[in-house]
Amino acid sequence: MKAEIIAVGTELLLGQIVNTNARDLASGLSDCGVIVYYQTVVGDNPGRLKQAIADAYERVDLVILTGGLGPTKDDLTKEIVAEYFGKKLVLDQPSLDRIQGYFDRMGREMNETNKKQAYMPEGCIILENNCGTAPGLIVEEGGKIAILLPGPPKEMNPMFEEKVKPWLSGKTGSTIKSRTLKMTDIGESNMAAEVSDLMEGENPTVAPYAKEGESELRITAMAKTEEEADGLIEPVAKEIYARLGEYIYGEDDTTLVEALVKKLIEKKITISTAESCTGGLIASEITSVAGSSEIFGSGYVTYANSAKMKMLGVKDKTLADHGAVSEQTAKEMAEGARAASGADIAVSVTGIAGPGGGTPEKPVGLVYMALADDKGTIVKKLNLDGSRDKVRRRTVKYVFKMVMQRIDEKGDNK
Amino acid sequence: MKAEIIAVGTELLLGQIVNTNARDLASGLSDCGVIVYYQTVVGDNPGRLKQAIADAYERVDLVILTGGLGPTKDDLTKEIVAEYFGKKLVLDQPSLDRIQGYFDRMGREMNETNKKQAYMPEGCIILENNCGTAPGLIVEEGGKIAILLPGPPKEMNPMFEEKVKPWLSGKTGSTIKSRTLKMTDIGESNMAAEVSDLMEGENPTVAPYAKEGESELRITAMAKTEEEADGLIEPVAKEIYARLGEYIYGEDDTTLVEALVKKLIEKKITISTAESCTGGLIASEITSVAGSSEIFGSGYVTYANSAKMKMLGVKDKTLADHGAVSEQTAKEMAEGARAASGADIAVSVTGIAGPGGGTPEKPVGLVYMALADDKGTIVKKLNLDGSRDKVRRRTVKYVFKMVMQRIDEKGDNK
């Protein structure tokens, strides 16, 4: 079934609120095997709303509308939909009683205008609102379906989950499922180039996405059941792992740092951090993961040279000969942090995050990162661009990738 | 001018991401005196995208499209718009050079497909992308305007602010300007009560906002020119400073930590951090501010008790008698960090961020923070609720407020 979501509300058009309803409905609809082709936002304007509904039924057979079911004059969604389907609004006593009961419970007087909310298009399915006054409703006629839901997410979401979803899944008898493979160390275009043939597929589809220094491939299948969808997705996922497995660190909601901390815990590898330009960001990312205390005991933020020497034992001569932003300093920082913390692995970062501090030889974005473990110390050089914040955040990603690779080298990766 | 926003992306239709672009664009457009009549979302589908564009120009004269400017096969927005306006795509050498330069700086190979991003509709205005590879563009013909922007908010928002807004304000001849006064240590309602008379104004308007532990007053004026708008805003701002100046730490995009670092630099006060549950977040926030090296030399992330003892000299007995999350431990952490770092001020945090680790006596959200300086040591107890992330972030805010207050006590605050 093809659907369009129409969110009604001038505050959306003015950008005063973000349209989370469209996101929540879209994600819920695809779970029911409904394909959302369009999302639309219109203001509380009768003419434009009427036109939007007419346009929608040119394109799809299911239209979900949120908002405009309130008691005030400019809440018109129900009236316009009834008019579109040529249905009269009739008083629904049970709805009126529920609204009355709602006000009684709140110890508030029911305003005359609230009665408006109890008038429903004749012959519609009424969706009780347990979180507010405005009932939702479903109108079905001539192959066209309109589902009207209240605008406040607190009212809309439970109504959709409890009443609309079961009704729709019954209609479609099908479901859509997605699986996302998340990668590092490969750009979106290079990744896409590796699987361009798979991206031609219809079911499942394969689509690439890029997010700050990471790339994703999303496999989406439509089927009668979840199991069937998984069956369609699995071989494609296998093929992608065969081609790009080395870059894949996790799936779906897993973040790189979560995948790393999980792996460190599994392998019982402890880690420490020595940070100059990232200034504690690496440590704060690691400790943002619940359970990280199992593998992280201490971190060193050594912004000043004196701190690098005092806390990490970086040699005066090293700083004098090579400077704070150098391969040698990064190496001594990592080794110093490992010695001071007693951790299995220590990582270090020293660089120029900018916007100031750059020189022709050592420009903004120059970062050295090092990793010290029982096998020795590796140092990597990065040349990043972008804002101070971006340089710092991307450095953190590169550090996590470096650790990932290093511990994957250490024997098997189960 | 009437506008429609079209966001292009299957991930939006599937409800995998929320359409913050539409919100940001809508609010930015109204700043330029542009009225948004519709917002639409379509997938990466040539036919439907083409239809959506045609429909939009039936209703409005300005269409802003975001997304689909990437290097991959299914990025089609530019191609479809060029087709709609009957324009050829021609290689724009400066764009190609910028993209090449971007890859060079990243030390990454430029894939053939990336060249696609340098082909632009003939005669369009090109909008440089300083945060990514895909340039934006403006096509204007026969009274129709199309503005194409990249999908990632980190690329779209700066491009809109820096390039599109001035261009549009020039077109509409009217501009809306806002100035936001940001405050701490005063609740939204108390703040509003102090300026209720000013909130009656029509132009400029004064509106209160509350954001995680902070309060804001936004002054908004509409005028022909920026200068004229400033002229309307200035006297109102003066009046608010006269009434609430003691709470105002900054304006507009200034963050609390930026204001704090600025003040520390002005007063030549150095600071160090000792962090348990925030795990480096305080240090990383301080060092996120350019120039912070003037006042921040070192920080200690002491997640394990052993680290608290070794790095900060917290007494074994203190941890044994009172536990790691206690007033006494927080005090010794701050004093230890001050001694070890030689900084004028040291702050410490120890608490239970959750989700695990809580007990009836010491529940999740219990945090002790301390500040040690030449006047002594103060310790404050917090009981926060929310997720691990929220507890950590709110703790950081409270620590910054504590420092703000403390250094304001130290003599005058100019």
pLDDT at A336 over 80: yes
Please give the average per-residue pLDDT across A301-316, as a whole number.
97
Contact A401, A370 (CB under 8 A): no
Tell me whether residues B20 and A18 touch, CB distance under 8 A.
Answer: yes
Report DSSP state, residue A111: P
pLDDT digits (tens, 9 = 90+) for A204-230: 999 998 877 789 999 999 888 888 999
Minimal CA separation from B112 to chain A, in Å: 9
Spacing of C-alpha B408 from chain mean position: 26
Contact A86, A142 (CB under 8 A): no
Burial of B409 (C-beta count, 10 Å sphere; 0-12/13-18/19+): exposed
Tell me whether residues A298 and B288 touch, CB distance under 8 A.
Answer: no
Minimal CA separation from A49 to chain B, in Å: 10
Q: Tell whether A369 is within 8 A of chain B (Cβ).
A: no
The mean predicted confidence, pLDDT, of chain A is 92
The pLDDT assigned to A223 comes to 86
Task: Report the C-alpha gap between A98 and A9 in whole angstroms.
Answer: 25
What is the rounded radius of gyration, in angstroms, for the C-alpha atoms of chain A?
29
Contact A393, A385 (CB under 8 A): no
Task: Report the C-alpha gap between B150 and A15 in whole angstroms.
Answer: 19
Task: Report the C-alpha gap between B407 and B414 in whole angstroms.
Answer: 11
Contact B120, B135 (CB under 8 A): yes
Nearest to A94 by CA among A77, A113, A119: A119
pLDDT by residue for chain B (414 residues), tens digit each?
899 999 999 889 989 899 999 999 999 998 888 989 999 999 988 999 999 999 999 999 999 999 999 988 889 999 999 999 999 999 999 999 999 988 888 788 888 888 999 999 999 999 999 888 899 999 999 999 999 999 999 999 999 999 999 899 888 888 888 899 999 878 788 898 999 999 998 899 898 887 766 889 989 898 888 889 999 999 999 999 999 998 899 998 899 999 999 999 999 999 999 999 999 999 999 999 999 999 999 999 999 999 999 999 999 999 999 999 999 999 999 999 999 999 999 999 999 998 988 999 999 999 999 999 999 999 999 999 888 998 999 999 999 999 998 998 765 433
A233 is written with which tokens?
């997705």
Tell me whether residues B73 and A192 touch, CB distance under 8 A.
Answer: yes
Side chain identity at residue B48, one-letter code: R
CATH class of A2-172: alpha beta
Minimal CA separation from A368 to chain B, in Å: 14
Task: Report the C-alpha gap between B245 and A223 in whole angstroms.
Answer: 62
Percent of chain A with pLDDT over 70: 99
pLDDT digits (tens, 9 = 90+) for A176-190: 788 999 998 788 889
Among B36, B108, B356, whose Cβ lies nearest the Cβ of A187? Answer: B108
The pLDDT assigned to B411 comes to 52
Integer distance in angstroms from the first to the last C-alpha of chain A? Answer: 42
The pLDDT assigned to B174 comes to 82
Q: In chain B, what are the domain boundaries?
A: 2-172, 175-251, 256-410
> Residues 231-250, chain B: which have Cβ within 8 Å of A?
none
Alpha helices of B32-152 — where are they, by DSSP H? 46-59, 77-84, 93-106, 112-115
Q: Residues of A with CB below 8 A from B291's CB?
A: 356
Minimal CA separation from B40 to chain A, in Å: 4
Minimal CA separation from A290 to chain B, in Å: 7
Among B72, B297, B306, whose Cβ lies nearest the Cβ of A188? Answer: B72
| ipTM surpasses 0.85 | no
pLDDT at A413 over 80: no
Task: Report the C-alpha gap between B166 and A400 in whole angstroms.
Answer: 40
> Residues 155-194, chain A: which have Cβ within 8 Å of B?
176, 178, 187-190, 192-193
User: Which residues have a Cβ under 8 Å from the Cβ of A83 and sit 6 or more positions away?
Assistant: A50
The pLDDT assigned to A412 comes to 43
The pLDDT assigned to A114 comes to 84
Task: Report the C-alpha gap between B172 and B168 in whole angstroms.
Answer: 6
Minimal CA separation from A102 to chain B, in Å: 28
Q: Tell whether B37 is within 8 A of chain A (Cβ).
A: yes
Among B27, B70, B278, whose Cβ lies nearest the Cβ of A15? Answer: B27
Q: Tell whether B279 is within 8 A of chain A (Cβ).
A: yes
pLDDT bin (cut points 50, 70, 90) of residue A410 is low
The pLDDT assigned to B412 comes to 43
Q: Residues of B with CB below 8 A from A341's CB?
A: 307
The pLDDT assigned to A231 comes to 96
pLDDT bin (cut points 50, 70, 90) of residue A275 is very high
Among A24, A52, A299, whose Cβ lies nearest the Cβ of B280? Answer: A299
Among B70, B105, B299, whose Cβ lies nearest the Cβ of A188? Answer: B70
Tell me whether residues A297 and B307 touch, CB distance under 8 A.
Answer: yes
User: Which residues have a Cβ under 8 Å from the Cβ of B372 and sit 6 or more positions away?
Assistant: B331, B334, B335, B337, B338, B345, B346, B347, B348
Which residues, in sequence order, are bridge partners of residue A134?
Answer: none
Tell me whether residues B292 and A303 touch, CB distance under 8 A.
Answer: yes
Q: Tell whether A385 is within 8 A of chain B (Cβ).
A: yes
Tell me whether residues B275 and A280 touch, CB distance under 8 A.
Answer: yes
Q: Which of A35, A39, A206, A286 to mutate to test the interface with B (most CBs of B within 10 A)?
A: A39
Q: Tell whether B288 is within 8 A of chain A (Cβ).
A: yes
pLDDT digits (tens, 9 = 90+) for A97-138: 999 988 888 788 887 888 899 999 999 999 999 888 899 999
* b/e code A87-103 from CB counts within 10 Å (16+ = b): bebeebeebbebbeebe
Tell me whether residues A40 and B37 touch, CB distance under 8 A.
Answer: no
Question: What crossing angle do the helices spanning B46-59 and A46-59 adopt, rounded to 10°?
Answer: 160
Which stretch of A31-40, A269-278, B293-302, B334-343 has the lowest confidence by average pLDDT?
A: A31-40
Spacing of C-alpha B234 from chain mean position: 25
CATH class of B256-410: alpha beta
Side chain identity at residue A387, one-letter code: S
pLDDT digits (tens, 9 = 90+) for B24-35: 999 999 888 898
Topology of domain B175-251, CATH: Alpha-Beta Plaits (3.30.70)
Q: Tell whether B205 is within 8 A of chain A (Cβ).
A: no
Q: Tell whether B324 is within 8 A of chain A (Cβ).
A: no
Q: Residues of A with CB below 8 A from B131's CB?
A: 386, 390
Please give the average per-residue pLDDT across A168-181, as a whole number.
84
Burial of A287 (C-beta count, 10 Å sphere; 0-12/13-18/19+): buried
Tell me whether residues B113 and A301 touch, CB distance under 8 A.
Answer: no
Integer distance in angstroms from the first to the last C-alpha of chain B? Answer: 45
Tell me whether residues B114 and A189 touch, CB distance under 8 A.
Answer: yes
Among B40, B279, B300, whose Cβ lies nearest the Cβ of A38? Answer: B40
pLDDT at A261 over 60: yes
The pLDDT assigned to B410 comes to 60
The pLDDT assigned to A414 comes to 35
The pLDDT assigned to A176 comes to 77
